[in-house]
């Protein structure tokens, strides 16, 4: 039995790998076998067992009780089943719109659930985390302040102020390149004078501004959103480079199986080597 299963696994793995050369009958065969199996599996697990657990056995249990409650059965089991089965009107062209009702209920549920959850978990929590980190760094002492405590106190506020004031100037009064450079210098000074978490904050702000839809990308917005784009590119590059390792490792594991467990196991089974 061991050998058989080894060979089955190896056969299917090789069939899949053969796609790397080109689409071929072996690959198609393997894929369609899996497709058939999984459709059957889903049918079994989702439809049969689902029906049994959600509708049949609860109703049986209820009827098994000394005093079954018909109302309960109707509202909680039969009615949902009826509404859900409206989806089958997809096969009746003129009554097809009825199938939208269960779909609508499903989507309404999902999106209503999503709205609060994502607003709470992603928006508020993430903003909170970002802010807390950077505040912890500012009110606590940072690399910069620990080195030059004397004016390290003022520098963050000073440079931030410079950035803001000059930016306002640049935006409305004089669009002079030197001012822009000064802004950049002050900005980098500001970032340096604080710490990584401020870097994170700046990155978050920049990337957020990349996603502004309602202004033309011009002037300051363009500058900032380009910084944001750079941040994102750094992230994407790092993620990509980091993933190569694990993915290749998976393939190595596969090769290890094929070579040692499959071939080696077969060899042992045949010649007891």
Query: For residue 161, what are its two tokens?
Result: 């102020």
Minimum gap (Å) between residue 174 Cβ and other proteins:
24
Pick out residues in 105-164 that bind other proteins (CB under 8 A).
105-124, 126-132, 134-135, 138-139, 156-157, 160
Measured from the CB atom, is 97 or 271 closer to other proteins? 97
268 binds other proteins (CB under 8 A): no
Residue 69 found at the interface with other proteins (CB under 8 A) = no
For the CB of residue 122, give the shortest distance to other proteins in the complex, in Å: 3
Q: Find the binder of other proteins among 183, 186, 189, 207 (CB under 8 A).
A: 207
Q: Which is nearer to other proteins, 119 or 185 (CB)?
A: 119
- Binders of other proteins among residues 222 to 261 (CB under 8 A) are 228-256, 259
Compute the distance between CA of residue 213 and CA of residue 219 in angstroms, rounded to an integer: 15
Q: Which stretch binds other proteins (CB under 8 A): 55-63, 167-175, 180-188, 265-273?
A: 55-63
Q: How far is the CB of 150 from other proteins (least distance, A)?
A: 16
Q: Count residues contacting other proteins (CB under 8 A)? A: 150
The reply to whether 189 sits near other proteins by the rule CB under 8 A is no
What is the nearest approach in angstroms of other proteins to the Cβ of residue 185?
A: 18
String of DSSP letters for the chain:
-HHHHHHHHHHHHHHHHGGGT---HHHHHHHHHHHHHHHHHHIIIIIIIHHIIIIIHHHHHHHHSSS--HHHIIIIIIHHHHHHHGGGGGGSGGGGGGGHHHHHHHHHHHHHHHHHHHIIIIIIHHHHHHHHHHHHHHHS--HHHHH-HHHHTHHHHHHHHHHHHHHHHHHHS---HHHHHHHHHHHHHHHHHS-HHHHHHHHHHHHHHHT--SS-S-HHHHHHHHHHHHHHHHHHHHHHHHHHHHHHHHHHHHHHIIIIIIIIHHHHHHH--
59 binds other proteins (CB under 8 A): no
Give residues 14-53 in contact with other proteins (rule: CB under 8 A).
16-17, 19-23, 27-53
Question: Least separation, in Å, of the C-beta of 99 and other proteins?
Answer: 7
> Residue 272 CB, nearest distance to other proteins (Å)?
15
Which is closer to other proteins, CB of 176 or CB of 253? Answer: 253
User: Tokens 């401020």 identify what position?
Assistant: 198
112 CB-near residues (< 8 Å, 6+ apart): none
Among 183, 186, 189, 202, binds other proteins (CB under 8 A): 202
92: contact with other proteins by CB under 8 A: no
**Contact call for residues 166 and 182 (beta carbons, < 8 A):** yes
Which of 267, 268, 273, 266 is closest to 10 using CA atoms?
266
The binder of other proteins chosen from 212, 219, 267, 269 (CB under 8 A): 212
Q: Based on the shown chain and the rule CB under 8 A, indicate whether residue 94 belongs to the binding site for other proteins.
A: no
């Amino acid at each position: 039995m061991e050998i058989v299963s080894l060979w089955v696994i190896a056969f299917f793995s090789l069939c899949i790998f053969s796609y790397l050369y080109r689409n071929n009958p072996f690959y198609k065969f393997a894929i369609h076998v899996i497709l058939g199996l999984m459709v059957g599996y889903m049918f079994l697990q989702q439809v049969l067992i689902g029906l049994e657990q959600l509708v049949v056995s609860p109703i049986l249990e209820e009827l098994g009780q000394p005093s079954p409650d018909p109302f309960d059965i109707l509202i909680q089991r039969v009615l949902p089943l009826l509404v859900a089965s409206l989806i089958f009107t997809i096969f009746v062209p003129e009554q097809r719109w009825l199938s939208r009702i269960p779909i609508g209920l499903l989507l309404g549920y999902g999106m209503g659930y999503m709205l609060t959850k994502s607003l709470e978990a992603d928006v508020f929590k993430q903003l909170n985390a970002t802010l807390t980190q950077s505040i912890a760094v500012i009110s606590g002492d940072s690399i910069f302040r620990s080195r030059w405590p004397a004016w390290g106190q003022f520098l963050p506020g000073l440079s931030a102020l410079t950035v803001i004031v000059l930016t306002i100037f640049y935006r409305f009064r004089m669009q002079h390149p030197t001012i822009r450079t000064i802004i950049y210098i002050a900005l980098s000074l500001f970032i340096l004078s604080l710490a990584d978490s401020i870097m994170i904050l700046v990155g978050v702000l920049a990337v957020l501004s990349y996603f502004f839809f309602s202004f033309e990308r011009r002037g300051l917005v363009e500058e900032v959103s380009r910084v944001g784009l750079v941040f994102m590119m750094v992230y994407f590059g790092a993620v990509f480079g980091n993933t190569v390792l694990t993915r290749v490792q998976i393939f190595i594991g596969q090769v290890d199986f094929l070579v040692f467990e499959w071939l080696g196991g077969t060899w042992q089974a045949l010649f007891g080597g």
